[in-house]
Amino acid sequence: MISMRDNFLSDFSVKVENLAKNKDKQPFKEIKNNNDKKKAVLKFLSQIGVDTRFISYFNDKIFINNLRFSKFSRKKEEIFNHRYPKIFVIRSSLFQKIASKSSKSLSSVIKVKDNILIHWNIENELCKAILFYKTILSYILLEPYTRKYGIKIITNVDLNNKKESNFKTLCVMDLNNQVEKEIEDIFKGKGIISKINEKNEIYPLKFIDKRLIEDFVDEFVDEKLLRYFINKFNKNYINININNNQNFNELEHNKGNINKKCKGEEIKNISKNFMEFLEEINPQFKENILKSVEYLSKNN
């Protein structure tokens, strides 16, 4: 016997498939303006029942942040692909894990209608390349918040042109960077002092381990995506040489080699070695240290 629920789902599928085949809708390939294209894609996703607050749309790729909350079923993906065959839907457990960890910090810091500033002012070419990879991931994580909270992602170019005065600055320090800095301060005798959010900054990668970032970059960041990001935000920014054969991990390794040669970097190297030692004993120690630092900062 066919239940009422079965009939409802059948009717729903027919209606949604008709949406995909609707000749009155402007075809995706004819939309040349990127903003109009994005609006059309997001509108269609909403029409087929996808909650776009839990997906990231970037460079003709849809990253699912939360599979359950997004309601992006395989059936809906099939319907979506029929309408937009050139847009890839990425069901990555790695990215969903990153997005889940990122939301812990973003949900408590981002406010409605916030302006988030991506600032490119950095001179060291190697650090600039590392920052660039992290900024791509940060942007993808922030993109759904343009719908959740109506935020606007701006650059220093927008800042100069529009004279925006009220903004929060994106900081791409990851979990490793922050814990290493805390341990470094302890060895320097400064004690534990949390510096997070003292300067109206946001940290999308606050709870993201460097290894997760490396895995994401290796799996999803190709030359096409890099060039798209450059053109979208700052065409003059990347005069850096991003070698396609040099991955994120190698860039971090080279940065470490430079640090070893710099005067006054002994404590930083000791901190890094100490972190490696602690990780062998307890792989979760970094998050525990960060939580402890925040607790002590709030209760001092």
Tens-digit pLDDT profile for residues 193-236? 655 555 688 999 999 998 899 899 889 887 777 777 767 665 44
Give the 3-state secondary structure of residue 263: coil
- The kind and range of the H/E element at 104 are helix 93-109
Q: Which of 64-68, 106-110, 155-159 has the lowest mean pLDDT?
A: 155-159
pLDDT: which is higher, 261 or 69:
69
Q: How far apart are CA 113 and CA 300, in angstroms?
A: 32
73-103: string of b/e by CB count within 10 Å (b at 16+)? eeebbebbeebbeebebbeeeebbebbebbb
Biggest CA-to-CA distance, the chain: 78
Q: What is the pLDDT of residue 256?
A: 53
Q: What is the pLDDT of residue 196?
A: 53
- The kind and range of the H/E element at 139 are helix 125-142
Calculate ∠ Cα 26-27-31, nearest 5°.
Answer: 80
Task: Name the phi and psi angles at 102, rounded to 5.
Answer: -65, -35
Q: What is the mean pLDDT of the chain?
A: 75
Q: pLDDT of 115-166, one tens digit each?
A: 998 876 555 454 566 777 888 899 999 999 999 999 998 876 555 555 556 8
| Domain ranges, ordered by start, for the chain | 7-91, 94-298
Assigned CATH topology for domain 94-298: Rossmann fold (3.40.50)
Residue with tokens 């003292």: 198
Strand partners, 88: 61
Q: What is the pLDDT of residue 241?
A: 46
Q: Strands 152-155, 88-90: parallel, antiparallel or unpaired by DSSP?
A: unpaired
Q: How far apart are CA 262 and CA 36, in angstroms?
A: 49
Residue with tokens 């991955």: 247
Q: What is the pTM of this model?
A: 0.74
Give one word for 59, left, alpha or beta, with left for phi > 0 and alpha for psi -120 to 50. left
